Amino acid sequence: MDLEERIAVAHGEKKVDLLLKNARIVDVFSGNIYRGNIAIHQDLIVGIGDYDAENTIDLHGQLVAPGFFDAHVHIESSMITIPEYAKTVMPLGTTSVIIDPHEIANVLGLEGIRYMINSAACSPLGVYIMLSSCVPATRKETSGATISARDLTLFINHPWVLGLAEMMDYPGVIHRDIEVMLKILLTLEKKKKIDGHAPGLTGKDLSAYIASGIDSDHECTTREEALEKLRLGMAIIIREGTAAKNLDTLLPLTDPKNIHRFLFCTDDRHLYDLLNEGHINSMVKRAIKSGIDPVLAMRMATLNPALHYEIPNVGAIAPGYHADLIVFDDFKNMDISQVLKNGQSIYKNGELTTSWELDSDISVRSTMNVKWLALPDIEISAEGTPHIRVIDIIPNQIVTRQLLTEGKIEDGKLVSDVKRDILKIVVIERHMASGDRGIGFVHGFRLKKGALASSVAHDSHNIIATGTDDEDIMAAVEEVIKMRGGLACAVTGQVVGSLPLPIAGLMSPKPYREVSAGMESLLRITREMGSSLEDPFMQLSFLALPVIPELKITDRGLFDVNIFDFVSLFAP
């Protein structure tokens, strides 16, 4: 609506489209809850009070709050398209997300970013975009694309683009890498935001990083780390994903004096967890249960991200703000009965009230380009009793430890040691058909038989696999290739479960319920194979990420993040 009409309807000179009567309004500005009527016209809230309306809904004292924001998410990790993701999270109260299309960008480059922008237009979910800053994440792995500062100029002025996504290359910032500087300067010149990604960074290194203009971080894993970054001016984005869970650790740091500097995000959360645990709504409920004032907990999930990312007229209930609203009975259960986006009903009483689909013309090319490998290509020769480096998994974290131990030898080759839970892990390059592969060992999966393989392997998304023997590893890898990407389990050389992900090897075009059923089936199979991890595929996917400490593996070998260089499998 034009400005004059907005003022006229707010002034009560003509009927509004919708009046929500007898609401208890969650006011994230004042920190209070008060009773009132919410007047909505077209996509905006135009007033609080008594208005003549074309349609009136009596809420009988139900709570009304702004819709939730996810301040940092890789939708690709849900393994579904944006329209299907919207069907999943909008009934949970999420009306806006800030995405980093980093995963698909590492596979498809600018084509991947364009795909996500076009997909976002196919659903009512508010999708804002931070442009991927590190494609590839490092030069220590083979990705499917490289995105330069010049490339980012093609998207930086897009109205949905808020800035530059998580700057993982903190050494590049500190040491003034030319390409990193160009990306930062481009963003600052456009007066847009730059997200941080600096796990464990401290002291002068952290000060130099922040001085570049980076003003948020979602990688804090300890209260001390978050406090230092908070004191130096960073917004702290508390993450609760599938593999990385920091909510319980960081919530005690919040208080009414600093709550405006905290936001919520899921970063990487699998579809199974979205459907069974929830989305941002689950974080708000847990924050309230921990003792945080309910309105302040709501503020972290609504107004705070809108203010930090300078998104106008979103995240609160006030005249001129977009009518992105959730209706619920109480803070304890937070059972959401209705969701409105831009004044339109999206979800009511357990059902979506509108429908949307991905445009069939929006597609991407195949991304599986793998040189054929045979069983001997993943074998490791050994003599004597070698001392080896092993990736040691920390459950519910994406950081790992380095374990030094003796390797198991059979017929002159290093093999998985199931009794000690030390399994072979392999990363196979899938973008250039180079035949490159990294081979090592991992502790923590607890598989008693079989192997897992996946084309989801952060951040370059080569094929990653682990298992109890080479035959099963190769069977699982071959299934991933045949599916044009996906997840697979193999036992005794036979595929026993799979989930195709043909969109960049990351996402499925299928409805979210079908994808969820497929994922649940795979997780049941992994438990039958012996793994006790909550989601072994998610855990596996982060073992190839060479920007998160301590020991990781890429298609080029074992990588020690602490020294930022490759190391031999064989330790001194």
Per-residue pLDDT of 262-278, as tens digits, reads 999 999 898 989 999 99
Nearest partner of 292 among 253, 239, 249, judged by Cα = 253
Mean pLDDT (the chain, rounded): 96
Where is average pLDDT lowest: 269-273, 319-323, 390-394? Answer: 269-273
Per-residue pLDDT of 437-482, as tens digits, reads 999 999 999 999 999 999 999 989 999 999 999 999 999 999 999 9
Q: Is residue 252 within 8 Å of 234, Cβ to Cβ? A: no
* Torsion of the alpha carbons at 560, 566, 472 and 509, rounded to the nearest 10: 80
- Tokens 């899921």 identify what position? 266
End-to-end CA distance of the chain: 71
Per-residue pLDDT of 6-65, as tens digits, reads 999 999 999 999 999 999 999 999 999 999 999 999 999 999 999 999 999 999 999 999
Per-residue pLDDT of 472-503, as tens digits, reads 999 999 999 999 999 999 999 999 999 999 99
| C-alpha Rg value of the chain to the nearest Å | 24
Distance between CA atoms of 130 and 113, rounded to whole angstroms?
10
Q: Residue 230's pLDDT band (boundaries 50, 70, 90)?
A: very high
Domains by residue range for the chain, with CATH: 67-312 (3.20.20.140), 375-566 (no CATH)
Per-residue pLDDT of 500-512, as tens digits, reads 999 999 999 999 9
Tell me, what's the pLDDT at 138?
80
DSSP annotation of 76 reads G
pTM over 0.75? The answer is yes
Q: Is residue 505 within 8 Å of 488, Cβ to Cβ? A: no
Q: Is residue 250 within 8 Å of 226, Cβ to Cβ? A: yes
